[in-house]
């Protein structure tokens, strides 16, 4: 191992970057958490709406299939949203959450 590789490895360990090289995911920013939470909710509503539209189109039950599956999709989206937030809170509590970018670390 060259001198440069040794210094690079030492610098990565000091900065806490050695974990990301071993296969674990890097910490996410708060913006990525917010985007994920919004996506969880929107995906449930869109899938519910599409399934409801398909049921109405196929069985000629308009608008009841759309209304029913939109409600189910919204409920599923909210449940997925709650689960995602709980997982993120557990990650934040474990210290693998968003990186602290405060200037006090200098």
pLDDT digits (tens, 9 = 90+) for 12-50: 888 776 654 445 556 667 788 889 889 989 999 999 999
Cα-flanking dihedrals φ and ψ of residue 31, to 5°?
Answer: -65, -40
Structural domain boundaries enclosing 87: 28-95
The answer to whether 41 touches 81, Cβ cutoff 8 Å, is yes
Which among 79, 82, 80 has a CA at the least distance from the CA of 90?
82
The SS3 call for residue 29 is coil
Counted domains in the chain: 1
Residue 80 has pLDDT above 50, yes or no: yes
Residue 83 lies in a domain: yes
Residue 21 lies in a domain: no
Residue 11 lies in a domain: no
pTM of the model: 0.60
Q: What are the Cα distances from residue 1, in Å, to 4, 21, 86? A: 8, 17, 43
The span from the CA of 13 to the CA of 25, in Å, is 16
**pLDDT above 70: percentage of residues in the chain:** 76
Residue 20 lies in a domain: no
The answer to whether 77 touches 43, Cβ cutoff 8 Å, is yes
């Amino acid at each position: 191992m060259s001198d440069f590789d040794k210094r690079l490895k030492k610098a990565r360990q000091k900065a806490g970057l050695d974990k990301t090289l071993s296969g674990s995911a890097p910490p996410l920013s708060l913006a990525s958490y917010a985007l994920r939470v919004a996506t969880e909710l929107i995906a449930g509503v869109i899938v519910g709406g599409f399934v409801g539209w398909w049921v109405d189109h196929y069985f000629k039950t308009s608008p009841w299939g759309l209304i029913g599956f939109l409600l189910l999709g919204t409920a599923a989206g909210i449940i997925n949203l709650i689960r995602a937030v709980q997982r993120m809170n557990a990650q934040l509590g474990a210290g693998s959450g968003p990186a602290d970018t405060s200037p006090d670390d200098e």
